[in-house]
């Protein structure tokens, strides 16, 4: 019996999830059907790929080798599918990854533009932290991803989209006190014990530490899993945080007690980029980057209306 690409995909899912139940949910088939497909793959290859334990599966030596080869094959197949888009631009299927600190703010205007571009476009979105997105991209499970630069991994190409500046967010009382204390505000003025960050692993937390020249978190470490939670905490007076301006329209509306203040020029910022496997750059990548940039600019225009930048650091007009 010849092996199939579908079987390889099922096996990769099983290896990554570590259980038939989770893998079956991921690939959207029943657990018995997944088990049958993996056994048929083992039969086609003539080797045992997994040890079936009571609560988990464990790869055999042959399974580990097969996993590496299966990922490479599936990645090449994904590149082949992308190559067919060269003459048609952005069409067919799109699997896009995006970091959680950008997804709630960029996705709505992006999806509107994608639907207007092609209502038949099959769009699948995965929200995850940068490391997971880059891994999935390299394995061919994503076509492209939106992350913050830099991305040091090899074989990954990046198209910068727009600059997303940071503002200081907190309760009205805290922000007013800072404004009264000094006319100028720089990240280095902030004490570590004042700053609340996202959970470790979020690139935004690392960026905030770098921007503030901090090597550690403060004593009151209330790391949150989302910016919405973080904004709710600081709106109640439990510290301050750095907020990307793309989040301003959504988070200030959701947390009425949240106040923000711009930093003095030059304002700290992150650069969001569209990343894809090097060599897979085609017309659809350029189309997607253009729509992402347009969606980002629309959100930034709204954010800068709510919190205007300093005059000597205002974005160009026209």
The per-residue pLDDT for 201 is 67
Q: Which domains does the chain have, with CATH numbers?
A: 5-83 (1.10.10.10), 93-161+272-307 (3.40.190.10), 163-269 (3.40.190.10)
Cβ atoms < 10 Å from Cβ of 251: 22
What is the bridge-based pairing of β-strands 156-171 and 258-262? antiparallel
At residue 275, does pLDDT exceed 80?
Answer: yes
> What is the per-residue pLDDT for 268?
92
Split at pLDDT 50, 70, 90, the class of 86 is very low
At residue 264, does pLDDT exceed 60?
yes
Please give the residue that has the higher pLDDT: either 212 or 52.
52
**39-53 burial by CB neighbour count: b if 16+ within 10 A, else e?**
ebbbeeeeeebbeee
Task: Pick 116 or 281 by higher pLDDT.
Answer: 116
3-state secondary structure the chain: CCCCHHHHHHHHHHHHHCCHHHHHHHHCCCHHHHHHHHHHHHHHHCCCCEEECCCCEEECHHHHHHHHHHHHHHHHHHHHHHHCCCCCCCCCEEEEEECCCCHHHHHHHHHHHHHHHCCCCEEEEEECCHHHHHHHHHCCCCCEEEEECCCCCCCEEEEEEEEEEEEEEEEHHHHHHHHHHCCCCCHHHCCHHHECCECCCCHHHHHHHHHCCCCCCCCCCCCECCHHHHHHHHHCCCCEEEEEHHHHHHHHHHCCCEEEEECCCCCCEEEEEEEEECCCCCHHHHHHHHHHHHHHHHHHHHHHHHCCCCHHHCCCCC
Say what the pLDDT of residue 81 is.
67
> Under a CB-based contact definition with an 8 Å cutoff, are residues 82 and 74 in contact?
no
Q: Is the pLDDT of residue 316 over 60?
A: no
Across 120-124, 271-275, 279-283, least confident range: 279-283
């Amino acid at each position: 019996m010849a092996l199939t690409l579908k079987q390889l995909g099922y096996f990769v899912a099983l290896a990554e999830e570590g259980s038939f139940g989770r893998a079956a949910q991921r690939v959207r088939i029943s657990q018995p059907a997944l088990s049958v497909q993996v056994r048929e793959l083992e039969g086609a290859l003539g080797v045992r790929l997994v040890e079936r334990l009571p609560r988990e599966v464990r790869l055999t030596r042959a399974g580990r080798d097969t996993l590496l080869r299966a990922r490479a094959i599936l990645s090449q197949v994904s590149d082949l599918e992308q190559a067919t888009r060269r003459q048609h631009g952005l069409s067919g299927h799109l699997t896009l990854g995006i970091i959680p600190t950008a997804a709630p703010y960029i996705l709505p205007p992006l999806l509107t533009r994608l639907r207007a571009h092609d209502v038949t476009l099959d769009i699948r979105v995965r929200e995850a932290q940068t490391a997971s997105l880059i891994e999935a991209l390299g394995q061919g499970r994503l076509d492209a991803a939106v992350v913050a630069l830099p991305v040091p991994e090899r074989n990954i190409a990046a198209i910068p989209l727009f600059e997303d500046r940071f503002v200081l967010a907190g309760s009205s009382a805290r922000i007013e006190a800072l404004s009264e204390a000094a006319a100028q505000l720089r990240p280095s003025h902030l004490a570590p014990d004042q700053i609340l960050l996202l959970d470790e692993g979020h690139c935004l937390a690392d960026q905030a530490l770098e921007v503030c020249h901090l090597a550690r978190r403060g004593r009151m470490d209330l790391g949150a899993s989302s910016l919405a939670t973080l904004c709710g905490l600081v709106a109640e007076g439990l510290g301050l945080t750095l907020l990307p301006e793309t989040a301003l329209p959504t988070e200030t509306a959701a947390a009425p007690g949240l106040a923000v203040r711009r930093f003095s020029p030059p304002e700290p910022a992150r650069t969001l980029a569209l990343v894809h496997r090097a060599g897979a750059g085609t017309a659809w990548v350029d189309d997607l980057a253009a729509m992402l940039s347009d969606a980002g600019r629309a959100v930034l225009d709204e954010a800068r209306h709510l919190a205007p930048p300093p005059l000597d650091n205002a974005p160009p007009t026209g």
